[in-house]
Amino acid sequence: MVTEQIAQTKTDELNRCKDLAAPINEDQTSNGPETEPMSANQVFPQTRFEGLIHEDQNVNVTGDQSVGQVSKLLPGAGDADSYLVVRTPHFWGQNKMVPIELVDSVNPNGVQLSIGLSEFQELPKYQTDAELATEVESALWNDEVLRVTDYHEVHVRVINGVIFLNGYITGVMNQGRIENAVATVQGSLGVKFHLISDDNLILQVSEALVQIQRVEGNSVFAHVQNGVVTLSGNVISAEIRSSAEQCAANVAWVRGVINNLAAPEVDPKANDPLFVQPTIGEKIYFRDSLEGIITQVVINPKNKRVTAMIMQGQFPDEKSKSGSMSTFENLAPERLAVIPVGLIRFLTDESGFLLIDSTETSQYQIYDPTGFVVPNADWVPPYPYCTENVRFLA
């Protein structure tokens, strides 16, 4: 049973990362045709309309009344139906999504639908990915409970009409609220949820700690917020303190462990780095304005916390570390550097700032791949990272 659960968790993680890596159509902001539109053969394979429907064909409802022209061919998500996007006359103000099963025939006059005008007008409107994402976020914000609980922890992304929701929620009750909110949004080709509930996670963490809790003298309390586990209480030794941290970190979908357990001769705050999760692709600025891009993060597998960022940029070497680099003269070629998270002064989802100048090369190191290893294939990285984003110290 444990093996099955681990295998399923890894599958979920792979699916999430596969979804995030899916190619996005260039048509994000307009209802016009894509640069390389899909053919009817691609969208409607093995149907009676294969090769017959194409862009700019007239679309008619019953009574041979024209309602517009085909502007797009959209594949459904998974087993979902495929769709036509019909560009309607301007006075209707919106394009419509027509499921393929409503197509009755294709003839020289165009695409004939099996519905009348009133039914056509009731069909969902077509929206671009950007418009869908905005509407989903608005729907979540309009729920008064979600607004003060999970709104900021749910990441919304729309890829080719499919809505992806990733992140952490406080409980299963909010899962229902999120599903209801998203259901009000028209024009999507499907919804995929990758949401982890804190109340389920705390049960798993508590179960993982039960053996430690049974030892006389140990009193361990666990709290989970947005996937981050905080341990508090007292244990009888530094070894047990470390073991408790490892047990909590081994629970799949834990984002990281903050260990505040008291133990003999242990300072819980000593050498404890800042808990941060820098975004892959984020720009990080040195104090002298030199910037780098985060390509990967270094994680301590014992607590799943990020200890350093691997950044790409034109970092100076030892010979050029003296003097200001603000003029960007004598910059080295592009290369990777390892920046400890303890050097972060300020961090947002889009950018971050460091406490040092780029010339203070003694504070960080140029990346040497021999000093790092790739995580094992069965290791589940903490959200929001995927396995390829992570390195361990060798």
Rounded to whole angstroms, the Cα distance separating 265 from 212 reads 19
pLDDT per residue as tens digits for the range 147-199:
999 999 999 999 888 899 999 999 989 999 999 999 999 888 889 898 999 99
Question: Which CATH architecture does the domain made up of 40-121 adopt?
Answer: Roll (2.30)
Per-residue pLDDT of the chain (394 residues; tens, 9 = 90+): 333 444 456 677 667 777 666 555 544 433 333 434 444 444 444 456 767 888 889 999 998 899 999 988 887 655 455 888 999 886 566 789 898 889 999 988 899 999 999 999 889 889 889 999 999 999 999 999 999 999 999 999 998 888 999 999 999 899 999 999 999 998 888 898 989 999 999 999 999 999 998 888 899 999 999 999 999 999 999 999 999 999 999 998 899 999 999 999 888 666 666 789 999 999 999 999 999 999 999 999 999 999 999 999 988 866 555 544 444 455 668 899 999 999 999 998 889 999 999 989 889 999 999 999 999 888 889 999 999 999 999 9
| CATH classification for the domain delimited by 2-23+129-195, as one of 3.40.1190.10, 1.10.1740.10, 3.30.365.10, 3.30.1340.30 | 3.30.1340.30
Q: What is the DSSP code (8-state) at residue 92?
A: G
Spans of all domains in the chain: 2-23+129-195, 40-121, 209-259, 283-393
How many residues does the structure list for the chain?
394
Helices (H), 128-209: 129-142, 144-148, 172-183, 198-208
